[in-house]
Structure 1
Amino acid sequence: MPILTLTTDIGQRDFLVGAIKGQFLSLDPSWIIADISHYLSQTNYPQAAYTCSNAFKYYPTGSFHFVIVNLFGAPLHHLLVARYNDQYIICPDNGLLTMIAGEKPREIGAIKVDRRHTLLELTQLVAEAACGIHKKGLGMLEPIQEIEEKYPLRPTSGPDWMEGQILFIDNFENVVINITRQEFEEQRNGRAFKIVFKRNEIIETISDNYNSVSESEKLAWFNSAGYLEIALRNGNMAGLFGLQGYNEQMQQAGTSTDNKWFYQTVRIFFE
């Protein structure tokens, strides 16, 4: 039985997600369909990449992952289907593929579309292509080499410091930073540290979980995806301190101010 995940920015207040599932099931009732999220930002690609990459790796070989983020943000001529880690990622050609994979997959095919197609006309073509690929493989599509490439944000560092960007803010307003445990430990090299955000908020220890600190106390820990996370026990870290997710598109467009940058980054100093 083929497995499909859906990750989108279209929400679930209307019929669209249900209609897309119906398109797949009408073609092949054996599809197993799982929702990852339907509340991604249209402009925050790092958020989408974080969500997708950390969910996809738990699915079986041969799974299909259909990602719809900012689908009509640019002229639309085709959708991409890539085989990566023995799974299939289907998404717009807007940089999402390389953001999710962290590299350009070797096998990429194109689903030809017309810019006049509606959302459900496009998803019907995707459903038909996915059913065909499940039976015949990716070779049934025309291969494509030139695609839009964007890559995940990486932390910057010096001999005694690291700087990361806020990658994701979860439903409880816990704040995920784009620094992994491995990157942190390599840069730390056994030294003491201070995690600094805003002007003078400091955390000097790594906790095992949220209950490692007293009520309403700040904490830092490495979450289940292996990324640094700062939080308040039973509190809203992002809201209380005015922290914001890093928006790469706004930065590139020059719409972000130094003040916004200040609320989107976290520094670590080693001693």
Structure 2
Amino acid sequence: MTGLRILVGVKRVIDSAVKVRVNSAQTGVETANVKHSMNPFDEIAVEEALRLREKHGQEAVPEIVALSCGPAKAQETLRTALAMGADRAIHVKTDDALEPLSVAKLFSKVVANEKPNLVILGKQAIDDDANQTGQMLAGLLGWPQATFASKVEVNDGKLQVVREVDGGLETVSAALPAVVTTDLRLNEPRYASLPNIMKAKKKPFQTVTPADLGVEIRARLQTIEVVEPPKRQGGRLVASVDELLDKLRNEAKVL
């Protein structure tokens, strides 16, 4: 295998350890003064690209490019990907939050410019849980896709992926170029070492805008209201099965 160029998508999200709260305007969650980090599924995507290089060698995987779309602070996430081992980074700078279709369109333009033969994305971002970008990107490119990957192998221009599905595991194969989205059990992402964090500051970093790529960004969805889920009520003891059924039928209205 030679010349496998990999593009990896990364997104800046609220850290998974943070308890999110709805903002006062009820238009979304509070993001001010809240810790952000790389989307966990995207960390897995970066790690898988690095493992493919380690398995097949530098000559076989000559370049790994990290791509992120978002505000200026998304550069921090790209620096993390560079510190993990990506070779260079591309930041598509936008002021507003992007819907999956807009992200897919931006990615497709970068793919056209960079000409990778494998794109690896996290299966979803933990902020919106849309699980759409990878599939939309494959559709726009006309490439095969292998989603929810728990194992990835590339040999002789062929991609083989073990997918996690409701009924168990499914193995699919496809010719490159292709799009892969990563699931939780694919790998365990590495931590960036201090020397690699320092080296990341000197790696190539490109910033472009949607206009540079010829993509018009417009919102197609409107958030009407965001509210917190109702607080869980305390449990109640019942003396018999008949009493339980009565309360489920007449109070909870679930029967």
Tell me which interval the TM-score lies in, with the shorter structure as reference length.
0.3 to 0.5
Higher strand share: 1
Normalising to structure 2: TM-score of the pair? 0.36
Structure of greater relative contact order (alpha carbons < 8 Å, 6+ residues apart): 2
Normalising to structure 1: TM-score of the pair? 0.34
Give 1 or 2 for the bigger CA radius of gyration.
2
